[in-house]
Amino acid sequence: MKKHKIALIPGDGVGKEVIAQGVKVLYAASEKHGFELDFIDYPFGSGHYLKTGELVSEDSLAEIGKCDAIYLGALGDPRVKPGILEKGILLQLRFHFDQYVNLRPVKLLPNVYCPLKNKGPADIDFVVFRENTEDFYIGLGGNAKGKTHQNLELVRQMYKVKFGLDIETDAEEIAYQIGLVSRGGTERIIRYAYEYTKKSGKTKLASVDKANVLTSIYGFWRKTFEDMGAEYPGIKTESLFVDAVTMFFVMQPERFQSLVVPNMFGDIITDLGAAIQGGMGTAPSGNINPAGVSMFEPIHGSAPDIAGRGIANPIAAIWAGEMMVRSLGEGAAADSIMKALETVLAKNRIKTPDFGGASSTSDVGDAIADAVLKG
Ligand code: ATP
């Protein structure tokens, strides 16, 4: 029997509660579809950090590297300064395993509240591929103060040469951030988006940029996207400015089947995507290295305000589990999880308080696991 080894990092707050439901549903799918899941538990998160000072050890990274995938809950704790757990665990895993694709399905499921007027599940069903490693998030930037500072001099000279402007007098202090995209980094995400679009039988792929203002970075991105399009004659392409995309997400989400987006704009528009698909409890994500270890997680955080009360919505975590088994080649199991999710939501009886119901986190997990087994 085929076996998949999964590194399980439930993390903090509601992460633990929703991941338990995801595991329950994944076990049901593995039983139904004849494969084994071997979960290896890792304690990483705030509790472990506060007790031991450790975020993720080198040894654990090496061990996780031998797993087939990572299934993560959420990280965050009011007792820990913001950024420590995110940088030390989440980003560490993303960068260590070079998970350069952030895959975000934006799909409105039945009976999920959509804030857009007159839009339903038939209108909101697309996938966003966000580049996950470059752009303005490479951490290159700084602050400079005083006339003689080397960085400030450099920026002054750039201004002088480029715009003929002298910022001698009033720019005594500056902050700057540099964005960077590479040919390799741009090509691999765009290639992934074209291939995924083609394999999933979709016919349209849009690229998002701001090539009219940030011409160097996004002009390069746009040209790469358009050049590669010649290799995919069956896919209809369009290049859109990010400001237009935010309007289309709200006014005409049915326009999209798939979109490929540089890191920073991807960060922003995928949250808008989560909002139109019903909010925090419903949005899953995959951090993917197609040739390595990928990581799947709900996009929400640890939600300390509702943690420990058994009322967190496990839909996003269960859906992230669905994405994980699909990436492991268990397409039939993934289809049955998706169908079970839709069946339970369509019945509109078992739902957590954020969806207007009174069911617990584990009631929802039980109902979906049951639907997988009966499906
Ligand atoms: P963190 O610091 O870990 O990011 P946060 O509370 O700042 O946590 P989120 O957890 O992402 O941010 O979510 C914000 C709010 O959305 C939460 O306070 C909670 O009320 C709601 N929320 C998040 N996840 C869920 C969920 N799975 N089910 C129901 N409500 C949720």
Cβ partners under 8 Å of residue 340, min gap 6:
25, 368, 369, 371, 372, 375
Residue 336 within any structural domain of the chain? yes
| pLDDT tens readout for residues 66-120 | 999 999 999 999 999 998 999 999 999 999 999 999 999 999 999 999 999 999 9
What pLDDT was estimated at residue 153?
72
User: In the chain, how many domains are there?
Assistant: 1
The secondary element (H helix, E strand) that includes residue 187 is: helix 183-199
Nearest to 134 by CA among 190, 196, 72, 193: 190
Does some domain include residue 229? no
| Residue 248 counted as domain residue | no
Does residue 74 line the site of ligand 1, with CB under 6 A? yes
Q: How far apart are CA 260 and CA 165, in angstroms?
A: 36
DSSP-assigned beta bridge partners for residue 178: 140
Mutation test residue for ligand 1: of 12, 277, 280, the one with most atoms within 8 Å of CB: 280
Inform me whether the pLDDT recorded for 158 exceeds 60: yes
Q: What is the distance, to the nearest Å, from the Cα of residue 258 to the centroid of all Cα atoms in its chain?
A: 14
C-beta separation of 194 from 175 below 8 A: no
Which residues on neighbouring strands pair with residue 261, listed in sequence order? 130
Ligand 1 atom closest to Cα of residue 316? 27
Percent of the chain with pLDDT over 90: 87
Is there a contact between 45 and 297 (Cβ–Cβ < 8 Å)? no
Q: Is residue 311 assigned to a domain?
A: yes
Query: Which amino acid is located at 300 in the chain?
Result: H
Confidence bin at 313 (pLDDT 50/70/90)? very high
Residue 149 has pLDDT above 70, yes or no: no
Give the pLDDT confidence score for residue 164 in this predicted structure. 74
The pLDDT tens digits of the residues spanning 160-198 come to 777 777 765 455 677 878 899 999 999 999 999 999 999
354 Cα nearest atom in ligand 1: 29
CB contact at 8 A, 341 and 322: yes
Q: How far apart are CA 84 and CA 78, in angstroms?
A: 11
Helix, strand, or coil (residue 138): strand
Query: What six digits make up the tokens of 207?
Result: 């690229």
Q: Are 296 and 320 in contact (CB under 8 A)?
A: yes
Q: Is 305 in the pocket of ligand 1 (CB under 6 A)?
A: yes
Kindly state the DSSP code that residue 88 receives in the 8-state scheme: I
**CATH number, domain at 74?**
3.40.718.10
pLDDT for res 293: 98
d(CA 168, CA 13): 50
Tokens of 167: 């910022």
Query: Could you tell me which residues are beta bridge partners of residue 142?
Result: 176
Does 92 map to a domain?
yes
With a 6 A CB cut-off, is 197 part of the ligand 1 pocket?
no
User: Of the residues 80, 112, 299, 306, which should be mutated to test ligand 1's pocket, given the most ligand atoms within 8 Å of the CB?
Assistant: 306
Q: Give pLDDT, residue 146.
A: 67
302 lines ligand 1 (CB under 6 A): yes
Cβ atoms of 298 and 73 within 8 Å: the answer is: yes
Q: Which contiguous run of DSSP H or E holds residue 281?
A: none
Q: Once rounded to an integer, what is the mean pLDDT over residues 344-373?
A: 96
| Smallest CA separation from ligand 1 atom 6, residue | 303
Q: Is residue 4 part of a domain?
A: yes
Ligand 1 contact, 19 CB (< 6 A):
no
Structural domain contains residue 365: yes
Q: Does residue 147 surpass a pLDDT of 80?
A: no
pTM: 0.93
Pocket flag, ligand 1, residue 14 (CB < 6 Å): yes
113 within a domain of the structure (yes/no): no
Range of the domain at 372: 1-105+279-375
CA–CA separation, 176 and 181 (whole Å): 17
Tokens of 302: 């640890």
SS3 of 295, please? strand
74 alpha carbon to ligand 1 midpoint, in Å? 9
What whole-number distance in Å separates Cα of residue 298 and Cα of residue 10?
A: 11
- Are 369 and 24 contacting, i.e. CB atoms less than 8 angstroms apart? yes
pLDDT at residue 143, rounded to an integer: 78
In this structure, are residues 261 and 225 in contact, taking their beta carbons and an 8 Å threshold?
no
